[in-house]
Structure 1
Amino acid sequence: MLQEGKVSVVVPIYKVEKYIHRCIDSIVNQTYENIEIILVDDGSPDNCGDIADHYQEKDSRINVIHKENGGLSDARNHGMEQVTGEYTMFVDSDDWLERDAIEVMVNHSLKFKADIVQSTFYYAHRDKLLIDNRFHEKGDAPLRLDNHSLMHELVKNDKVKNFAWGKLYKTKLIKDIPFKKGVLFEDVFWAHQVMHKVKNFLLLHHPLYYYYHRDDSIVSAYTPRNLDIIEGLKVRHVFLEMYYEELKDESYKAILKACLIHYNLLIRNRNKDKSGIHRKGIQSYIQTNYGMLKAAVKNDRQLRKQLYLFSLHPYFNITFLGIRKVLRSMKLLSQPPALKQVDFTI
């Protein structure tokens, strides 16, 4: 039986000894006190497990799970097995929260009867904070989305993000939807299954979560495992064709963007794809689905041009992007919208 009003915060922990205090302290010191904090030590080889145990000794709201290393998805799944709250949040162990984050999100969930509340967030770097204000300004009224509007925004990934973190979930929505194990970008495999069940989604135009970008994170050094995101988008595409056929073109656009980006990354990291098998896989997908991709991007001049050039030869598209970059550096082309820097000392 889930406890009314209680928020369960699941924190997977692995090799974050430098950051773990900041993360846990930001949760322990929340203004909303009816919480349980589930720290999942995913076989971390440093002192993270001992640090978590020390916090558990000091705060009865903390429950520590020690397990063999199984990856982020497996750690989250183990944490979910222990959840007892009406609400659940996921916080990655190198990130942190504003002190009133949970209180603000719970209050809005109650006021708007929302199944999920998502706040905006800061991109936190060692020496600066950035925020994406292309679609809102701080203080704008919350945005309510019904199911179809939500799924559209999820596929676009502009306002509604695929990330599991940064959201307050009604636990009953996610309790029986595990994260896919053994993949990177596990959220892409997971989010659409959750959002499919949502009737009322609320987006707060107020940053409450700090997403920390560190050089030693699992996604900073490129490997072919990063191609999991393309696989996740393809899995989601099959789901959308079944339940949201009107979003098929938007889904193809998302897959195409990912394919083009990762083809270029594979070129830049040829030593990670010496046989070219991963590049050939991307080429094959685009060639096989060219007609549907072309139809999907007919109203997107930029993607339409890139798809055409790639179909002639992938290097034509890479050359085009290189020329565009030079022209932008010479201020002969306008720069794309940039994230706004916020004055703050981390």
Structure 2
Amino acid sequence: MSRFRDSVPTINRKEPSLSVIVPVYNAAPYLKRCVESICNQTYKQMEIILVDDGSTDESFNICKILEKNDSRIVVVQQANAGSSVARNTGLDFATGDYIAFIDSDDSINERMFETMINFILENELEVVECGLTSTNKKQNVSDSNTFIESREKAMERLIREKNWSVWRRIYKKELIGNLRFIPGKIHQDVFFTVDILNRAEKQGYIAEPFYIYNTENESITRSPYNMKKLAAKDAPYYVFECTQGYNLNVRTLASQYLIRTLLSHYDRLFSHSYLDPNYTYRKEIKSEIIDQLKLKYKNNSFFALLAKYSPFWLYGIILKLIALRIKIRLMLLKR
């Protein structure tokens, strides 16, 4: 691993300093847009840590050019190890009072950091979240709704919205402490966010869509279904396990969230049956769904019960009929 600066940028300590960590891997078409949106923030007291994760395109060279243009930029290069490790590397280099994560193909509104830092300071918070939009949506609508929620209310909302992304929050560095991302996890954000919420007494929320999510660039989470994605069902299990000390409503939502995720994998294995020719994984998932249905939560969804009581051949036929019905409806709508 190498670092391409002799010293850390001088930060004016009259205002809290912010370390912005950007893991970079083969993001050349979007990287300049991303970093410029950070550099153009109305909040200036920050360092921008670009962690090149062994890119094979022009990303690293772009990082070095950007570094020359702004003294707040720090470039770190590492062998390819994944975004979890890249974020951890950024945390190890960070010197700011607060931490933000931005993905290298995304961008942010110029007022994001100033608004969020001010909200944190005014309300003595350790973490604040903002809304988001995407590159394929119009961004002329502003929702200025803000509130502060307890740990349980925050967890309840996040489970409902499946809102785990770390890049839409700013964290007090002391809150993160020695917490790090788990290498190799597809849904690494779920584990990190759950752990953060369990450390914070409350969370701030600013609904304004400051974060601009890029829908142009395909990632592993948007790629075709595969066995690596099946392994990611450990994320909703972590949510379920870590909320067992919460109130009944949160525990019920966590169980429902787990069942929905299991059903999603179950259904995908029927449409990708070549991945599970002997029904090994479908048997396992069916057993896990049944175990959740045994719990005293209001989670008896129609499809969960259908998965529980239907033999594999029948469930597969039902899925095909549903898919055919949707296809016909779409054809009729296009007329």
| Global fold match (TM > 0.5) | yes
What displacement does 1:214 show? 3.1
Q: What's 1:155 paired with?
A: 159
CA gap 1:201/1:155 in 2 versus in 1, 3 angstroms: same
What displacement does 1:89 show? 0.6
SS in 2 for 1:11: strand
Give deviations 1:260-294, integer Å, cap 9, x for gaps: 112222222334444543333312211333312x7
What displacement does 1:138 show? 3.5
Partner residue of 2:131 out of 120, 140, 152 = 120
Q: What's 1:250 paired with?
A: 253
Q: What's 1:67 paired with?
A: 78
Partners of 1:72 and 1:130 in 2: CA distance? 29
Q: Does 1:310 align with 2:307?
A: yes
Partners of 2:260 and 2:158 in 1: CA distance? 15
What displacement does 1:245 show? 5.3
What displacement does 1:27 show? 0.7
Further displaced range: 26-35 or 208-217: 208-217
Q: What's 1:82 paired with?
A: 93
Mapped contact 1:183–1:225 kept (Cα < 8 A): no
Q: Does 1:280 align with 2:283?
A: yes
Mapped contact 1:32–1:103 kept (Cα < 8 A): yes
What displacement does 1:253 show? 0.3
SS in 2 for 1:85: coil
Q: What's 2:5 paired with?
A: none
Partners of 2:43 and 2:306 in 1: CA distance? 54
Partners of 1:297 and 1:330 in 2: CA distance? 33
What displacement does 1:326 show? 5.6
Give deviations 1:156-178, integer Å, cap 9, x for gaps: 235xx211111111111113111
Give the paired residue count. 314
What displacement does 1:129 show? 1.1
Partners of 2:37 and 2:299 in 1: CA distance? 43
What displacement does 1:130 show? 6.3
Q: What's 1:342 paired with?
A: none
Q: What's 1:144 paired with?
A: 148
SS in 2 for 1:178: coil
Give deviations 1:48-79, integer Å, cap 9, x for gaps: 11111121222211111111111111110111
CA gap 1:18/1:215 in 2 versus in 1, 3 angstroms: closer
Unaligned runs of 5+ in 2: 1-10
- Give the residue type in structure 2 aligned to 1:295: Y
Partners of 1:282 and 1:23 in 2: CA distance? 40
Q: Does 1:265 align with 2:268?
A: yes
SS in 2 for 1:109: helix
Partners of 1:230 and 1:130 in 2: CA distance? 33
SS in 2 for 1:129: coil
CA gap 1:156/1:130 in 2 versus in 1, 3 angstroms: farther
Q: What's 1:344 paired with?
A: none
Mapped contact 2:255–2:292 kept (Cα < 8 A): no
Partner residue of 1:227 out of 227, 230, 234 = 230
- 1:1-346 alignment, distance < 5 Å: 5-124=16-135, 128-129=136-137, 138-157=142-161, 161-221=163-223, 222-241=225-244, 243-244=245-246, 246=248, 247-292=250-295, 295-298=297-300, 304-313=301-310, 314-315=315-316, 318-319=319-320, 321-322=322-323, 325=326, 329=330
Mapped contact 1:306–1:317 kept (Cα < 8 A): no
- Alignment identity in percent? 28
- Give the residue type in structure 1 aligned to 2:171: Y
Partners of 1:275 and 1:45 in 2: CA distance? 39
- Give TM-score, length-normalised by structure 1: 0.83
Give deviations 1:207-250, integer Å, cap 9, x for gaps: 10111123532222122212243211112222222x32532221
CA gap 1:262/1:52 in 2 versus in 1, 3 angstroms: same
Partners of 1:204 and 1:38 in 2: CA distance? 25
- Give the residue type in structure 2 aligned to 1:196: N
Partners of 2:278 and 2:29 in 1: CA distance? 38
Q: What's 2:7 paired with?
A: none
What displacement does 1:141 show? 3.0
CA gap 1:228/1:120 in 2 versus in 1, 3 angstroms: farther
Partners of 1:238 and 1:211 in 2: CA distance? 29
SS in 2 for 1:235: helix
